[in-house]
Structure 1
């Protein structure tokens, strides 16, 4: 499997887990097994990817557009959320964002410290680091939106 395929499958898995497996089945009309094949790393499923309509349905319900963001990153493109989803977590402003950013970064560093203690990062540790990185990314997006609001 190519690095790109593996990257997309990992983000597909993050999307399904963000929504939850049962709700994902209902939203897409797919079984648990079918959804699992879309993010499976096994060679027999290497050429299976989630259809774009299923991705769109799940990303509408998800807290973050995991697959769309992954596709954008692979192409070197940055994403900007539309007005309707902007700052849905509250109106704390940039000061609150800076505090949340420092807290999330501290959590990421604590997770990294714990993961690297034995000299290697296991798959489960990598997943926890990825989850913390995604949370940090969400805080940065909120901060960006607040800064854009203040400059307009």
Structure 2
């Protein structure tokens, strides 16, 4: 998949996450204009969503789809915390337990997903959610380890 089609795919996901009508209201753009931003037709191949439009839509979306895609293209891992008020741990030992639990949940999801030999889109989304949860635990663990070093 080319960089262009990868970005267009994530742009489409962002618009669909927000909803086309809501996206039009948020951005002041028409359905046709938003559609051109993620169209894979040759006439729209060089047309991409402006950054300010991406920012406005990602503020309303459940996940920063385009930002995550851009980070992925550069080999950057983002820590996205959609539950910022979640509990913090009290130390590394608790982090290790949480990490083991999350990894077990990921393996359980994977086992369910691969049972028919194919991972569906919904199964992939569940796996992604568990992977992000593991990232959050690892980030908390990193912060706790840094506190112990200092």
Fold shared per TM-score above 0.5: yes
Count of residues paired in the alignment = 140
Query: Which of 101, 106, 127 in structure 2 is aligned with 1:99?
Result: 101
Decide which structure has the larger Cα Rg and report it. Answer: 2
Runs of 4+ with >6 A deviation:
none
Q: Does the CA contact (< 8 Å) of 1:87 and 1:142 recur in 2?
A: no
Q: Normalized against structure 2, the TM-score is what?
A: 0.71
Please give the alpha-carbon distance, in whole angstroms, between the structure 2 residues aligned to 1:32 and 1:105. Answer: 40
Match of 1:110 in 2: 112
Match of 1:3 in 2: 2
Q: How far apart are residue 48 of structure 1 and its match?
A: 1.7
Structure 1 unmatched ranges of 5 or more: none
Please give the alpha-carbon distance, in whole angstroms, between the structure 2 residues aligned to 1:92 and 1:114. Answer: 37
CA RMSD of aligned residues (A): 2.9
Q: Normalized against structure 1, the TM-score is what?
A: 0.70
Q: Does the CA contact (< 8 Å) of 1:97 and 1:142 recur in 2?
A: no
Match of 2:48 in 1: 49
Alignment of 1:2-151 (within 5 A): 3-80=2-79, 87-88=83-84, 90-91=86-87, 93=89, 94=95, 95-96=97-98, 98-114=100-116, 116=118, 125=120, 127-151=121-145
Q: Does the CA contact (< 8 Å) of 2:79 and 2:132 recur in 1?
A: no
Map Cα deviations across residues 2-23 of structure 1 (whole Å, 9 max, x no partner).
6111111111122222223232
Question: Which secondary structure does the structure 2 equivalent of 1:110 belong to?
Answer: helix
